[in-house]
Structure 1
Amino acid sequence: MSKLKQLSAVTLQEQLYLELLESIKKGKYKPGERIPAEMQLSQMYEVSRVTVRKALDQLVKDNILIKKHGKGTFVRIPAHVENVFSGGSFTDTCLRMNAVPSTKIISRCIQHVDSEIADLLSNTDNQAITITRLRSVNDTPCIVEIDYFQTSFAFLLDEELENSSILQKISEKLGLIPSKFEDHFQIKRATKEFSKLLLLPTATPILEVTQTVLTENDEVIYINKQYINSEKYVYAVRSSK
């Protein structure tokens, strides 16, 4: 942290703006993290709270920071932008955000699924391969992801999936190439299980994204459900051809 120059041609407000922006770019304050309060920043940089407030307001206007009533000021989380014609990559998205992604396998098994999933997979016996993973950004849990497959995809039960792409595994083993992605969005309340994994109070609102992955001939490859803590990870969709 460098001391602001009182006699500079650049105003103290602009100097503080640039100092905070540089700290964010260098990772001192990471996406989703709260920055110091006005009083702390005033003491740290030896400027008035009015100067601090104006610098913060400008960072908010520029979509660098976000103010949350009663909680403080936080570094805005860049959106996860997924191209629905090519499929999104959690790892690639995090790397574009200068964030560190990680994945943990919670469970994988053959189990009974509800009729909605079974119908989409054309499974008459309501059985499906189910793989549950926890996605984290900078060691912060953000997404519980559940994938559903026909039982003919049983090879996935033994594959290394924590640092690999499921789509790539399927393409290599079965020659199935994803071509279409249909997304549906709902707001749900976090169950006890999801609350524990995402470190949230029970019943906290979370975003549910249900994605059907299909071939060019509309053959369903699998169903992907994501339960997202949008306080930590923002999901957006970009459509283009």
Structure 2
Amino acid sequence: MRLLVVEDEMAIRNQLADYLGGLGFAVDVAADGKEGLYFAKEYDYDLAIVDIGLPEIDGIELISQARAAGKSYPVLILTARGNWQDKVKGLEAGADDYLVKPFHNEELRARVNALIRRASGHAKPQLEFGPVTIDTAAKQVLLNGKEVELTSYEYNTLEYLAHHAGEAISKTVLTEHLYQQDFERDSNVIEVFIGRLRKKLDPKGELQLITTIRGQGYRFNTDPTSVHNSVANSDKGADVVG
């Protein structure tokens, strides 16, 4: 998941970047509203965290212009304690939630996870797909109730696909949402992650959890059990005809 942090106070900006990066997010940072607006309009983030009181362009205007440019990803605004007017203005400009400074990292994490989850249409942290459960709060994956050990990049790949279940996601998009901007990217690494996920979650190829769409990328199936059953039924039909 790729996040944007726009905060002019260096200490808070570094705190956010370090903490969120430690949670496995790829984080882009901007120190003022002008730079933040460039990032906000140029890239498709999974979530943006925007301080209200920014130099150059304030946070309200940044959010308004990003929304006007068609950006629909969730926005979490940072506000000063007790300044309810800023909260109202931020929400009316297109923000989805707010966090009051100073804040606890645990609350930040909960709000970020909730916004990303809701943006993909999920009401609870546990995403269930047949025998596979992805707990986005605990960053844990279960297969038939048993935990599956994944590396951080494997988990991040799986979670991104799950949040966009049913969509064809290209290797380029996956790469952009998994790595920092200055990281040397190699899209072939995505193939390795997908291969590992298939071996760990579907070693016999029965679920067809992640399918390859020729020329488009990968698709996470919303109902892997049904996919397996339909494939099995097709095979049986072919045997009868033959």
Per the normalisation by structure 2, the TM-score is 0.26
Higher relative contact order (CA 8 A, sep 6+): 1
Question: When you count helix as a share of all residues, which structure comes out higher?
Answer: 2
Question: When you count strand as a share of all residues, which structure comes out higher?
Answer: 1
